[in-house]
Amino acid sequence: MNRKSRIAIGVLIVTIIALAGTAWGQDLRARMRARLPAIVAMKAAGAVGENNQGFLVIRNPSAAKKALVEAENQDRRMIYQAIAKKHNTTPDLVGRRRALHIAQKAEPGTWIQDANGKWRQK
């Protein structure tokens, strides 16, 4: 990863932390934190993966909890929009940069979609 990408990811993380300090951000953070154990379990089971846009994708419909994935993606979408507005960019760009960070931090076995759309297990 080049220096510019590392800086962009750092800015993204700082912005997420700053948003968490607002009442809106605290509610959002609490919802996401409550869903986290179930999402981690679905990732470990291969039921969901992380796409190259920063969102969860159901890979095994029989093992995934669709409503949980949709709620997580909706909250991520709200975060990406808020960050994009604050930094005068697009939510799509924020999501793609977040996807890079998610891929780096993902646990072994997590399904990750690369920039070309190809899926691989980390």
Residue 10 CB-density burial (10 A; 0-12 exposed, 13-18 middle, 19+ buried):
exposed
Please give the pLDDT value at position 10.
57
Please give the pLDDT value at position 98.
92
Please give the pLDDT value at position 14.
56
Residue 64: DSSP 8-state: S
Q: Rounded to an integer, what is the distance from CA 51 to the centroid of its chain?
A: 8
H/E stretch holding 121 reads strand 119-121
In total, the chain counts a number of residues equal to 122
For the full predicted model, state whether its pTM sits above 0.85. Answer: no
Domain boundaries, the chain: 3-121
Please give the pLDDT value at position 28.
81
How confident is the chain (122 residues) per 10-residue block, as mean pLDDT?
54 58 72 91 95 96 91 94 90 94 93 96 94
Please give the pLDDT value at position 45.
94
